[in-house]
């Protein structure tokens, strides 16, 4: 296949060189290894004449963009979440949209536990104390945290990642409760450490540690706000590895500041990366910059999944992770 016969592809963010080499066999590429974040106008300009795009969740795919890019046929995201993609607009303009499910579930669940344990046991606060040279002696009430073993883990959102989080609770002897749009099958509940379905209000009231693992949509915007936080135990912790916007960050900051919630572990934020600066003034919150899937193996698998979808589309085949035609 000559270069002139290859479809043109925009790689909208920096990716692994080995995946670039794979894609070069099938496409003429426009790269962005400088990893610039394109404005909507610049993205539309760069997509002129392009068959497809490989992107992350930083690219907003909406009707305005698609109307300006009549030759575009596929948008392939390396992320599992696709709240940045207007699927109705894609369907209207005949643009395929794909994501990268499955490959990051276990790694993200690992990180969810890292956040939970760090928040519950005050790891970040204690490290800052030590680094500041404040450690002079031991005392019986020195950085008392919350128990994890034998407590109640509540999971809001029980898809692949939520179920992977629940399986890990078996080693801690935890009772697992969950709320989800659809109840799991008895077999799935048994596999998820005997997880029990409860209504959302009971989930909030009973969980010693609440884990948020649901996809973002306008329907779940601020599903955890001031009224929901008021239902939680003052001794509870909350961890969010899902998406910003699920939690009302302002309400969460107030609950943490006022002692109405013991601690939080957050990997995602509203308006990230421009998170609310008030988080930085709190000692009882563990913060990380959206890195729950950040191992080399998993990120490489995510990008290769996106590449597989693009290559299938270029060959006239159905992409394996097709969201909409």
Same domain for 152 and 229, yes or no, is yes
Q: What is the dihedral of CA 138, 141, 146, 147, to 10 degrees?
A: 70
Catalytic one among 272, 274, 315, 318?
272
Burial class of 68 by CB neighbour count within 10 A (0 to 12, 13 to 18, 19+): middle
Q: Is 243 a catalytic residue?
A: yes
Residue 194 is encoded by which pair of tokens? 């005997």
Same domain for 172 and 116, yes or no, is yes
Same domain for 162 and 227, yes or no, is yes
The domain in which residue 316 lies consists of 3-103+296-324
Catalytic one among 290, 315, 317, 318?
290
Calculate mean pLDDT across residues 286-310.
98
Q: Is 228 a catalytic residue?
A: no
Mean pLDDT, the chain, whole residue set: 96
**What are the pLDDT digits (tens) for 108-158?**
999 999 999 999 999 999 999 999 999 999 999 999 999 999 999 999 999
pTM for the whole structure = 0.93
Q: What is the CATH number of the domain that holds 281?
A: 3.40.50.720
Calculate mean pLDDT across residues 186-199.
96
Q: Is 189 a catalytic residue?
A: no
Calculate mean pLDDT across residues 208-225.
96
CA pair distance 269, 56, nearest whole angstrom? 16
Same domain for 172 and 221, yes or no, is yes
> 8-11 and 52-55 as β-strands: parallel, antiparallel, unpaired?
parallel
- Confidence class for position 2, pLDDT limits 50, 70, 90: very low
Report the range of poorest mean pLDDT among 1-10, 12-21, 241-250.
1-10
Q: How many domains, the chain?
A: 2
Catalytic one among 122, 168, 243, 299?
243
Same domain for 194 and 243, yes or no, is yes
Same domain for 301 and 265, yes or no, is no
- Residue 108 has a pLDDT of 98
Same domain for 251 and 141, yes or no, is yes
**What are the pLDDT digits (tens) for 19-66?**
999 999 999 999 999 999 999 999 999 999 999 999 999 999 999 999
Same domain for 60 and 170, yes or no, is no
**What are the pLDDT digits (tens) for 237-274?**
999 999 999 999 999 999 999 999 999 999 999 999 99
- Confidence class for position 4, pLDDT limits 50, 70, 90: low
For residue 1, pLDDT over 50 is answered with no
- Residue 162 has a pLDDT of 97
Same domain for 34 and 133, yes or no, is no
Q: Are 264 and 239 in contact (CB under 8 A)?
A: yes
């Amino acid at each position: 296949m000559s270069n002139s016969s290859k479809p043109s592809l925009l790689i909208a963010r920096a990716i692994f060189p080995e995946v670039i080499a794979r894609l070069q066999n099938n496409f003429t590429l426009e790269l962005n290894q400088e990893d610039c974040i394109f404005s909507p106008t610049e993205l539309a300009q760069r997509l002129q004449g392009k068959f497809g795009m490989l992107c992350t969740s930083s690219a907003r795919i909406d009707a305005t963009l698609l109307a300006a890019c009549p030759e575009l046929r596929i948008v392939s995201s390396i992320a599992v979440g696709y709240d940045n993609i207007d699927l109705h607009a894609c369907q209207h303009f005949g643009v395929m949209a794909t994501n990268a499910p499955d490959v990051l579930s276990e790694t993200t669940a690992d990180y969810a536990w890292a956040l939970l344990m760090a928040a519950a046991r005050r790891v970040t606060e204690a490290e800052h104390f030590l680094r500041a040279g404040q450690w002079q002696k031991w005392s019986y009430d020195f950085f008392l945290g919350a128990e994890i073993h034998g407590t109640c883990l509540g999971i809001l959102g029980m898809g692949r990642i939520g179920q992977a989080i629940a399986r890990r609770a078996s080693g801690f002897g935890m009772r697992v409760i969950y709320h989800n749009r659809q109840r799991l099958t008895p077999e799935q509940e048994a596999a998820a450490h005997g997880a029990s379905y409860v209504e959302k209000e009971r989930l909030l009231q009973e969980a010693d540690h609440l884990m948020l693992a649901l996809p973002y949509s306008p329907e779940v915007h601020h599903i955890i706000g001031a009224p929901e936080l008021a239902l939680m135990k003052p001794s509870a912790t909350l961890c969010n590895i899902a998406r910003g916007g699920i939690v009302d960050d302002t309400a969460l900051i107030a609950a943490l500041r006022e002692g109405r919630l013991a601690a939080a572990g957050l990997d995602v934020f509203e308006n990230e990366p421009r998170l609310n600066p008030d988080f930085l003034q709190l000692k009882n919150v563990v913060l990380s910059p959206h890195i729950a899937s950040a191992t080399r193996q998993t990120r490489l698998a995510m990008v290769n999944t996106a590449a597989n979808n693009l290559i299938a589309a270029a060959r006239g085949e159905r992409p394996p992770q097709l969201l909409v035609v």
